[in-house]
Amino acid sequence: MPDKNAQVLAGKVAVITGSGGGIGRAIAEAMVREGAAVTIVDINGDNAAKVAAQIQETGGRALAVTCDVGDRAQVRETLRRTVAEFGSLDILVNNAHDLREVKTTLLDTDDEHLLRSLRSGLFGTFYFMQESYPHLKNTAGAVVNIGSAAGVRGLASYYSYAVTKEAIRATTRAGANEWGPDGIRVNTICPAAYDTPSMSHWKTKSEEELAQAASFNPLRRLGTADDIASVAVFLAGPAAGYITGHTLMVDGGSTIDAGR
């Protein structure tokens, strides 16, 4: 009989970008609980160091790396340090995204705003996938990219963000098709979590407003970073061994009618 208490990621090594807080941090902590060693990657080095230190204090293995994911040289160095520290790479989670001034309409978006979003989101994902490929091929690894319902729906006033997130989903499908023969699985999560720094404005809402927001999805509750993290662990683990090229909406059913 299988051991129900076995850690599903025991012995694995994961790199999680944007893991100095929010969903990325929750994913890193969840993967550590399941036995993985993790590299905490964040543009804010202090945040990365704090998360890594807290993981180490609980007996987990963690490396903190300050990295601008839009700089290929820094991406390459992050992976070099990871493999030097832990010996391999099994899991890549592309979560980082510059969330400054996320809201812009198609007409109001200028080149700078669009390029900033593409640099952190799309190019960060692109660089990490390309540079990770030799390591992931060696371990028949898994990639989990983070998309958004904003892209699936073409959400009004989120043009740069939505375009970037849909480009990441296209990258997922291309990676799944091209790298499947190497045993590498590539999937996307489109999350809805309301207890993260980027969604901090929800903390100012009244109980009535929160209940009304929750009423728009079939499960009638607001999601948390832990809801997202558990799905990332699943997609990175053996139970998802026959799943690739898929977008999983982890949003309580909010996009059930999105026609994706």
Q: How far is CA 31 from CA 41, 92, 202, 247, in A?
A: 14, 11, 27, 20
Active-site entry in 127, 158, 161, 194: 161
Q: How far is CA 95 from CA 20, 62, 121, 152, 220, in A?
A: 11, 17, 8, 17, 26
Give the residue carrying structure tokens 């959400």.
Answer: 155
Q: How far is CA 81 from CA 18, 38, 39, 41, 84, in A?
A: 17, 12, 9, 11, 5
- Cα dihedral 159, 164, 167, 172 sign: negative
The yes-or-no answer on residue 158 being catalytic is no
With H, G, I as helix, E, B as strand and everything else as coil, classify residue 40: strand
Cα 178 from Cα 180, distance rounded (Å): 6
Q: How many CB atoms lie within 10 A of CB 226?
A: 15
Which strands sit side by side in the sheet containing 142-146, from one edge to the other?
62-66, 37-42, 13-17, 91-94, 142-146, 185-191, 247-250
Q: Of the candidates 82, 93, 65, which has an alpha carbon nearest to the alpha carbon of residue 236?
A: 93
Contacts of 253 (CB under 8 A, 6+ apart): 217, 218, 219
Active site residue ranges: 161
